[in-house]
Amino acid sequence: MSAWIVAMEDNLAEEKMKVVNLEGKQVLLIKKEGTVYAIDNKCPHMGCPLKGGILDGYVLKCNCHNWGFDIRTGMNAKTGAYVDKPDPKVSAYQTQISAGNILVML
């Protein structure tokens, strides 16, 4: 695993999202109740970017077809219609704050 400094914590407001590129993939940072979460920015259904989605508690709902994912774990939240995948999820990554920098473990 590698730790990457991806953003300054001050540049990510509460309940806001920011996309960063790490090792060839887009990772979505989301700050919720003072904690920064990191998940893939791609819905497993049709590849829609999750950044355009709606955050409802800890569930991020994809803007394209309303699939929901828990930003803490990446697991599906049983929202939307799962036609082609029985239990979709997105990758979630460990984060930490160090000296005001957001670090993501890949």
* Token pair 């998940």: residue: 39
Q: Is the pLDDT of residue 70 over 80?
A: yes
Which pTM does this prediction carry?
Answer: 0.89
The Cα 77–Cα 7 span in angstroms is 28
* Token pair 């803007």: residue: 63
Cβ burial of 9 (10 Å; 0-12, 13-18, 19+) is middle
Domains parsed from the chain with CATH numbers: 3-105 (2.102.10.10)
pLDDT digit string, tens, across residues 24-52: 899 999 999 999 999 999 999 889 999 99
pLDDT digit string, tens, across residues 73-95: 999 987 655 555 567 899 999 99
How is residue 76 written in tokens?
């599906």
The Cα 61–Cα 80 span in angstroms is 9
Q: What is the mean pLDDT of residues 43-66?
A: 93
